[in-house]
Amino acid sequence: MLAAMLTASAALCATAALAAEPLKMEGKSTLYQRVLTTPSCVLKANPADAEGKKLPAFSRYYIYARENGQLQVGPDSTGKIAGYIAEDCTVPWKMQTALLFTNPANRDRALIFEKYETLADIVASTDPKAQTDQLYASLAQTQKADGVVAEEPENYVDFSKNFYLLPILSSQEELFGSDDMPVNLLEIASVTDKQATDDLKQQQTGGTSGITAFKAAMVFVIDSSISMQPYIDKTKEIIREVYKTIEADGLQDSVQFGLVSFRSNLKATPGLEYTSKVFVKPGEVSTAADFEKKVAELKQATVSSVLFDEDAYSGVLTALSSVDWSKYGGRYVILITDAGAIEGSNQYSSTKMDAAQLRAEAEHYNAAIYAMHLLTPAGKTNHDKARAQYEDLTMNSILGKPLYYPVDAGNVQNFGSNISIIAKAITEQVRLASMGEVAAGSAAGMKKGLEEDMELIGRAMRLRFLGSYNNETAPDIIRGFIADRDLVKHNQPTSAPYVLLTKAQLSDLYDVTTKLLEQANLGMMAPSQMFSNLLSLAAAMNNDAAQVTQSKTLKISEMGLLGEYLDDLPYKSQIAGLTEDDWTMMGPEDQDRLIRTLESKLEYYRHCISDTDRWLQLAPDAAESEDVYPVPLDQLP
């Protein structure tokens, strides 16, 4: 009898153990089936229960079993069963990817179409404006348009304050008919909790009242190496003048300045005193006199740096990470230098990151980076390289161009004029906001260059702030198709795609990229050995890879080295399609460029892993290991 009971107990335990793993996705060995809840989802202990627990919208659950239209789900993949939810209230989520709307200040609001074919026809048209004009006119008049299921919010949706999901369900690349520019047509679902939004909006007292609380922070990031003293003095002078203006207007609490200085590597040149240093943060002072005291010790270095390039990226990263940007609607970083930036792969770099990674950080903080590049005669041979770096760093998705402004011959007066334009423009934006103004001034079309850019960026900042203040959200529960670029201004992205990686996946990505780098460095001398080693690594990690035979046309993606979480993502990998033949034909210069790019991305992954503030929980009671980090697709290898 006892033996029979033990046998039965063992059988039950075995069954439970087998059931303790979520269902696998079809064709995948490591990825589990997942769904997102919508506001109508109710979690029940048993499928037949009449009542259950309401779930937060856009919660991610793993599927453990399917039963007559009911899903047995858990908050994570550890075997923890939460209960049952109806399948028809959920949205399948194969790729753990999502879109974030970009700021709509300089483009039309994105449209979400009911059918793929409707969107594809507009994309293929040689005159898409004629079609979209009709749709926008109809939306303005009747709040409806043929084939359109939703429109992007008028104000920017602040992801960091109002987390929302626009999960990508499928993706297809097409070409615009008018210029052959590639565009991704993405099937998405929006699962924002409408009821919570409506309740909160009823508490709001006015559509634009929040804009009067708009504040702006401007942080100068100044190269203080030898030769920079005239520009340091001019920057101090301009800030002193602006302080007088804002004090006269009573705006000293609304326009705040910070200053960070950078030099170069201290180990190479101890006499530099610092690599980067915060002299004053926005909000620490409110008068010109107090600002002067804080920055009195800022002077150019007394010794030369080890390279002509300086550690500009260190200065930018310090500015981004040391300021509490959540206090400000307007967020500006102004880089001032006469040299290029030390590249992330250089032994003297303190950040080990390059322009693309710093730009991604700025986008997270919704900060605009400007670069004032002083084209002094001493840096003549460095100008082209530095320009490329700073154009990459300051590429702005709102304007579709970099916020890069060269100053010919390093002319101090011209430099001062540019700094004055920026500072006064930001002050004017805050003054307009204090009067309840949201849109850019009517004379914007008459302005050129830096002034026009400042006005457009300023409007974007105010839209972002207002959207956050009024709790602007993504559309309700819809499913449809969106283009990731403006249908008329093709250089303007409507959205930025992210992949949400768990801690294990991000750690795996770091490890795999490290191994790829090690072999790529070897491959510059021995291409065949590089790919043979990669295949051996893949075989050690994955039994299926052991069956793969090496050839000169075998792609890295076919080895099984890259995690399945990278499969089917709507991005073009730099290394997935690489073969031994491709690598050999690249030549040393292109190989070195790819290696340096991977090194910078590796450092970015390290930064993400250690960044405790950005991890997101996608389901109540989920294990901490299931928290996810939003990684921009363009930062994948």
Q: How far is CA 105 from CA 138, 160, 334, 453, in A?
A: 21, 19, 21, 12
**pLDDT, averaged across the chain:** 83
pLDDT grade for 463, boundaries at 50, 70 and 90: low
pLDDT grade for 16, boundaries at 50, 70 and 90: very low
| Residue 216 placed within a domain | yes
* CATH classification at residue 296: 3.40.50.410
Specify whether 304 is located in the same domain as 413.
yes
Specify whether 158 is located in the same domain as 294.
no
Segment 69-86 shows an average pLDDT of: 94
228-235 contact pairs (CB < 8 A, 24+)? 228/300, 228/337, 228/338, 229/299, 229/300, 230/412, 231/336, 231/338, 231/374, 231/410, 231/412, 231/415, 232/298, 232/299, 232/300, 234/412, 234/415, 234/416, 234/419, 235/259, 235/336, 235/419
Specify whether 68 is located in the same domain as 181.
no
Tell me what pLDDT residue 149 has: 86
Tens digits of per-residue pLDDT, 146-202?
A: 999 888 887 777 666 666 777 888 889 999 999 999 999 999 887 543 443 443 343
| Residue 3 placed within a domain | no
Tens digits of per-residue pLDDT, 476-528?
A: 567 889 999 999 999 899 988 899 999 889 999 999 999 899 888 888 878 88
Specify whether 172 is located in the same domain as 217.
no
Specify whether 375 is located in the same domain as 462.
yes
Task: Tell which of 92, 109, 136 closes a domain.
Answer: 92
> If you write DSSP's letter for every residue of 403-442 in order, what string do you get?
-EEEEETT-HHHHHHHHHHHHHHHHHHHHHHHTT--SPPT
| Residue 463 placed within a domain | yes
Task: Tell which of 44, 71, 92 closes a domain.
Answer: 92
Question: What is the token pair recorded at 443?
Answer: 């004379």
| Residue 624 placed within a domain | no
| Residue 519 placed within a domain | yes
Indicate if the pLDDT at residue 212 is higher than 60.
no
Indicate if the pLDDT at residue 445 is higher than 60.
no
Tens digits of per-residue pLDDT, 554-591?
A: 778 777 778 888 887 877 788 888 888 888 888 888 88
Tell me which of 448 and 592 has the higher pLDDT. Answer: 592
Tell me what pLDDT residue 550 has: 58
Tell me what pLDDT residue 332 has: 92
Specify whether 579 is located in the same domain as 611.
yes
Task: Tell which of 40, 74, 92 closes a domain.
Answer: 92
Indicate if the pLDDT at residue 125 is higher than 80.
yes
Specify whether 256 is located in the same domain as 164.
no
Specify whether 334 is located in the same domain as 457.
yes
Segment 458-482 shows an average pLDDT of: 62
Q: Say how many C-beta atoms besides its own lie within 10 A of residue 106's C-beta.
A: 20
Segment 263-287 shows an average pLDDT of: 94
Specify whether 319 is located in the same domain as 394.
yes
Specify whether 435 is located in the same domain as 312.
yes
Specify whether 463 is located in the same domain as 577.
no
pTM of structure = 0.75
Segment 620-631 shows an average pLDDT of: 88
Indicate if the pLDDT at residue 335 is higher than 80.
yes
| Residue 627 placed within a domain | no
Tell me what pLDDT residue 437 has: 53
| Residue 274 placed within a domain | yes
Q: How many domains does the chain have?
A: 4
The mean-pLDDT minimum among 418-422, 430-434, 597-601 falls in 430-434
Specify whether 29 is located in the same domain as 80.
yes
| Residue 629 placed within a domain | no
pLDDT > 90 in the chain, percent = 45
pLDDT > 70 in the chain, percent = 84
* CATH classification at residue 79: 2.30.30
| Domain around 324 | 209-469
Tell me what pLDDT residue 568 has: 79
